[in-house]
Amino acid sequence: MHESGEMYLETIYVLSQKGDIVRSIDVSEYMSFSKPSVSRAMGLLRQDGYIEIDRKGGIHLTDKGLAVAHSIYDRHETMSAILEVMGVGAETAQRDACRMEHYISEESFAAFKKYFQAELEKRNG
């Protein structure tokens, strides 16, 4: 999956956590992307089995889509937290985590997360 697809899935995940029905217009506004771009992306994600769109236009993650979205969201939150603990400002940490989450390997991410959790346990000890 490409970075843009991951970004769309993460956005749908984040918006769905608010409890509201997620529509293409919500994704468009959240990501500051044009409606035609979002519509095209939703078609591709639907075709690939990551989302379903109901009769009212509500976008729902499939199990496959939820797995990817949750993984990307976890990477984002973890990397952002690590950067902030290291002294990076919150806004910069969020922006950098958004870039890093798409390129870091599973192996490296798991190592970062394990190390970070061990460090937090030592500090809170």
Where helices occur in the chain by DSSP H, the ranges are 3-16, 24-31, 35-47, 63-85, 90-100, 106-124
Per-residue pLDDT at 125 exceeds 80: no
Percentage with pLDDT > 70 across the chain: 98
- Give ranges for CATH 1.10.10.10 in the chain: 3-67
Nearest CA to 5 out of 83, 61, 87 is that of 61
> Between helices 3-16 and 35-47, what is the axis angle to 10°?
100
Task: For domain 73-120, say whether CATH 2.30.110.10 is its number.
Answer: no
Per-residue pLDDT at 1 exceeds 70: no
- Give ranges for CATH 1.10.60.10 in the chain: 73-120
Percentage with pLDDT > 90 across the chain: 72
Q: pLDDT tens across 36-79, in order?
A: 999 999 999 999 999 999 999 999 999 999 999 999 999 999 99
The top-level CATH class assigned to 3-67 is mainly alpha
